[in-house]
Chain A
Amino acid sequence: MKNMRYLAISVVILFILPTIAVAFGEETKEYVNRRAVIWNEFFRMTTAAFVVGAVVSGTLIWVIWRFRESHPKNKEPTKWETGESH
């Protein structure tokens, strides 16, 4: 019984309400605003480019900082360098 109620609610939300909205909705013609769409896309892509740039250059900076010869953790040769692991 409970399932049937959920099913009925789902049908109303998914199919009946959109149909009523289309049937009785105002007939207004909305066009794509080319200027807004293209500039928004430009700024989104710029943000993505800067994020990728930050991730890549940040990783490189960390790798260079962490694996420099003078880093305290690099004082002793690793087990891979001494051949102990083989």
Chain B
Amino acid sequence: MGGHSSWPEWVYIGVVVAILVWVGADSWYIEHLIDHAPAEAEIIKVTGQQWFWSFEHADGTKEVGELHLKKGHPYKFEVQSKDVIHSFNIHDYVVLMDAVPGRINTVWFVPDEAGTFPIQCREYCGLLHYNMRGTLYVEEL
């Protein structure tokens, strides 16, 4: 290595490592941020089964294929499955969580816009997977 300067290599390594460290730190922070549901979030039990979604509110009200929520209020979904693996998705609110038999997965969000939004299964779960849809109705308080 006599007479050979290696500083460009070190700059190169430094730039790439710095970017990768930032990627890891930022992703960890965001994951941490969206992972913790507020204490006042209303729990809604979401059950996936071939080929429909059913919902149970905290007060015991049940809904099938449609879900009525209030704008500006936090909700925590407890997602589970009765048969095969499904995936609960409200695309417009970037809510996506697998429904796995024998397991309860959680995800929370706050609807900030009134209107109707599609709910869709995002894990191929059999013949009528394409039709495993529902509708989210967000109502003004």
B-binding residues in A (CB < 8 A):
29, 31-35, 37-39, 41, 44-45, 48, 51-52, 55-56, 59, 85
Contacts and interface: CB of A to CB of B under 8 A. Distances in A.
Contact of B93 (A35, A51, A52, A56): A35
Given A59-B12, A85-B2, A31 B19 contact: no
A12 B13 CA distance: 43
B30 A38 contact: yes
Interface in B84-141: 92-95, 109-110, 112
B38 A37 contact: no
A60 to B, nearest CB: 11
B64 interface: no
B58 interface: no
B63 interface: no
